[in-house]
Copies of this chain bind each other. A is one copy, B any other.
Amino acid sequence: MELEQVISTRHSVRKFQDKPVEREKINACLEAARLAPSACNSQPWEFIVIDDPQVKEEFAKAAFSGAYKMSAWVANAPVIVAAVSDKGSFISRLGGFLRRTEFYLVDHGIACEHFVLRAWDLGLGTCWIGWLNSEKAGQFFNLPGNKKIEHLIAVGYPAPEAAQDKPHARKPFDELVSYNEYKK
């Protein structure tokens, strides 16, 4: 699909067909993520793909317990991708410290969005999930202390009722953009 079409038609999908997703497709999305740019090329990302129903069920118990129960629907997605971050390379972390920001989070956004766009291109729906018990989810996979499950991506073939029936609800262009000065 043309990039412009991917970007303008993509929307979040929260209802999926009860149909497995081919690992070839998941891997193509992960390959798109792998090629993403990052601060100092530190590539502070790894991915755990959960497509085994039993693992998914147990993982969901850990990740969506208590206050995080409102994300429990994610277990209905045929595939959950756990995006694991570390804090980036030493140079990237030093730069982030001096600039008082966290470059690895920006990098994480870039790479996972490559995944999301490529998924849509391949006919798959996704939803970014930031609301999870990250500690328990990390313990579930015995992640080392410097690694964190930053986000999940729910993935599957969109159910017919998941089609978007209205345009993106976004702020108007002119509110966001100014040229050579800051207008507000």
By a beta-carbon cutoff of 8 Å, the part of chain A in contact with chain B is 1-4, 6-8, 10, 12, 23, 27, 30-32, 34-37, 39, 41, 43, 45-52, 55, 67, 84, 95-96, 98-103, 105-110, 112-114, 116-118, 121, 128, 130-132, 134, 141-144, 150-151, 168-171, 173, 175-182, 184
Q: Are A118 and B7 in contact (CB under 8 A)?
A: yes
Min CB gap A119→B, angstroms: 10
Do residues B180 and A52 form an inter-chain contact, with CB atoms below 8 A?
Answer: yes
Choose one: B117, B128, B141, B151; the contact of A181 (CB below 8 Å): B141
* Residues of B with C-beta under 8 A to A50: 179-180
In chain B, what residue has the closest Cβ to A148? B101
- Residues on the B chain within 8 Å of A99, using CB: 130-132, 134
Distance in angstroms between the alpha carbons of A182 and B106 in the assembled complex: 23
Minimum Cβ distance to chain B for residue A78 (Å): 13
Closest chain-B Cβ to A125's Cβ sits at a distance in Å of: 12
Are the C-beta atoms of B180 and A34 separated by less than 8 Å? no
* Most chain B CB atoms below 10 A, which of A27, A35, A179: A179
Q: In the complex, which residues of chain B have a beta carbon less than 8 angstroms from the beta carbon of A109?
A: 105-110, 113
| Centre residue among A4, A49, A142, A168 by max chain B CB count within 10 A | A4
Question: Do B30 and A178 touch across chains, with their CB atoms under 8 A apart?
Answer: no
What distance in Å separates the Cβ of A156 from its nearest Cβ neighbour in chain B?
16
Q: Do A47 and B176 have beta carbons less than 8 Å apart?
A: yes
Say yes or no: B49 contacts A151, CB within 8 Å: no
Most chain B CB neighbours (cut-off 10 Å) among A30, A51, A106: A106
Instruction: Tell me how far the C-beta of A41 lies from the nearest C-beta in chain B, rounded to whole angstroms.
Output: 6
> Contact: A48 with B150, CB < 8 Å?
no
Q: Which residues of B contact A150 (CB under 8 A)?
A: 101, 106
Of the residues B30, B45, B168, contact of A35 by C-beta under 8 Å: B168
